[in-house]
Structure 1
């Protein structure tokens, strides 16, 4: 199988699984609210879910550095998500629903470093920006269809349960395709081997560390360079000041701006915006490098001013801006890690990177939830200030220095 076909096939797997977990995420806020959750609890649970999906990649990223474990991690992570979401359809207790939301996000933590590492290997000849953007665009097809399926079920039945149960079907299809893909491409690392040449040696510090740094002793992994850590700090600040869709959707329903059945439809539209933004930013990344991320703090700062307003048009516009920011964050930010980390440590680099901004997102979600209940203008001003600091780091300290 060619590298492009591998990326497309993995994109279809992700699209099917996105139907499952994005379908669930599209109604998580209103669903928890219907079970009695407050705005703070909705923000904390959804933020904690993102933190679980991101922080635990530190552990699973280290495991993903071992090529023999990558497929096992991917399969077990996808399986956990495929099981957790349908179980929401038979749960009526708030605490059980919260645990299942976290379990679904745990599945993403287990699979993502291994998946990203395999995609980076396949994208070595295609271009990292194009590879991740192509995968993200296919991914978002499922993110579009899943919420529409849940929205239709909610409109027809008036209950969240049937929609969650229907998501078991694409989950099963994704698992079957994933096993087929593993059999077709048991070792994606082969995509980084040039025909007729011996396999590439693991990256050494000379190529990735600061100029003049001494080489690492034999047998030791190359260190993560300074630019990588600056990039992680910038990314963490942007996510600290980034609201979750759970709280945005909670606001839409609680403020009476949209009926519950239309919330997943709006989420599906936001995922369409996400896909377009991912393709555009991925294309630009391959031409100008990390500089394309200058737009991310600007988009994130606009979200609270629009998304938490009491005007339906402005609130809907805020959700669409949120979707555009997610497209940039989910495609180009990942591609940036591939360019700043030594090839032999990509798994752990992805894990460390996502752990940093996952913890920041959790802390920010707690603060945003508290501010939402106290003063929405104060919330918007605070987020704008955080994103301004992130923009200063990006423009002045320049984590992309020395890169294209």
Structure 2
């Protein structure tokens, strides 16, 4: 369909579509589900912070193993399988079980993410990476868009309980691991010139700078479930909360491919800066907005900025390293992001519970705004392969 984009890109997107169809029947209902158990912002903050940290720490290890063993497809599918089989267990209304299931679900995400991205970048020429990530993310968000309306329909018109809905949500995830991976092609890898290591000191300087910046912006990015909780506090009923999540996803979907094209034609760095500026503006607006109607608009803008930066954020680390450590580089990116997300959600939940939502949103909007100028430290070149390859190999010999 798009010049330079291979079949693997669409198949990987389809795999993500089915998985997110399942996940987003569950995720937007978590604030309301936890509320029925007497659990609030503090519990949600700890759960999401630790879960996302585990996801991204696992992504680093997964990427490193992939670069050493060249088993991208098997590793990715095992991560999707773990998510598919543990996710329905969140229906058990015991806080400890809910935590364990959420943690395992995010670990499954961490296992699959870097190898999946490695499969994608191995499937086509570097000049099309932004477009490819945009397509993959667009299909991913298509699945996420389908899940919330179905969840709202089943809750509103069929009277299903949360537990019944969570069980039904497992079906698309199981379909994905049974069908799509059979068609994905994995390129036969050559023996690498160097064995990838996890050591920080041997990473190319542009990647180190980027990882530190990603950590800082992740630290100012709490779980999106707090946006749903904000709408809930303004009077949004439980059955409409999946629709708000669906709007967020729709706007992310609409912006995802645009973000990929901008990454290839304009600049990954500039695209990221624009998206982060929008993020900051949305959080400032949420801090001072007390009207449910305007909150729907802000949810849409938030989704748009998320889609705008996704392709660039993922393509940049792969563009500044040699091919033999590409999955490891992706793993470092997800590790840094997860490490920042852990305190982000916990602190946001603390500020919400002990001070006010206004202070929480305004503080995080300000933090993101302060990070944006640091992007000037990154090179704008797209091909960092040779510049990163020589010092990396020399350090290992």
TM over 0.5, shorter chain = yes
- The separation in 2 between residues aligned to 1:44 and 1:124, in whole angstroms, is 41
Q: Deviations over 1:328-383 (max 9, x none)?
A: 34322101111122211011111111111211111111111111121333223321
Alignment partner of 1:386 is 2:362: no
Equivalent residue number for residue 97 of structure 1? 98
- The separation in 1 between residues aligned to 2:203 and 2:141, in whole angstroms, is 31
Select which of 250, 270, 285 maps to 2:263: 285
- The separation in 2 between residues aligned to 1:98 and 1:307, in whole angstroms, is 28
Equivalent residue number for residue 305 of structure 1? 284
Equivalent residue number for residue 395 of structure 2? none
Aligned CA-pair RMSD: 2.2
- The separation in 2 between residues aligned to 1:125 and 1:227, in whole angstroms, is 17
Gaps of 5+ in 1: 191-198, 203-217
Select which of 344, 348, 357 maps to 1:376: 357
Select which of 231, 238, 260 maps to 1:260: 238
| 1:146, distance to aligned residue in structure 2 (A) | 1.2
Equivalent residue number for residue 4 of structure 1? 6
- The separation in 2 between residues aligned to 1:220 and 1:86, in whole angstroms, is 39
| 1:167, distance to aligned residue in structure 2 (A) | 1.4
Alignment partner of 1:358 is 2:359: no
- The separation in 2 between residues aligned to 1:261 and 1:93, in whole angstroms, is 22
Q: Deviations over 1:304-324 (max 9, x none)?
A: 333454310222223222222
8 Å CA contact 1:30, 1:249 repeated in 2: no
Q: Deviations over 1:133-171 (max 9, x none)?
A: 011111111000111221212213152122211112211
Equivalent residue number for residue 318 of structure 1? 298
8 Å CA contact 2:72, 2:116 repeated in 1: yes
Equivalent residue number for residue 146 of structure 1? 147
8 Å CA contact 1:241, 1:300 repeated in 2: no
Select which of 72, 75, 79 maps to 2:74: 72
Equivalent residue number for residue 386 of structure 2? none
Alignment partner of 1:273 is 2:275: no
Equivalent residue number for residue 106 of structure 1? 107
Cα distance, 1:119–1:220 mapped onto 2, change above 3 Å: closer
Q: TM-score, with normalisation over the residues of structure 2?
A: 0.87
Q: TM-score, with normalisation over the residues of structure 1?
A: 0.86
Alignment partner of 1:334 is 2:340: no
Partner-residue secondary structure (3-state), 1:243: coil
- The separation in 2 between residues aligned to 1:376 and 1:125, in whole angstroms, is 43
Equivalent residue number for residue 63 of structure 1? 65
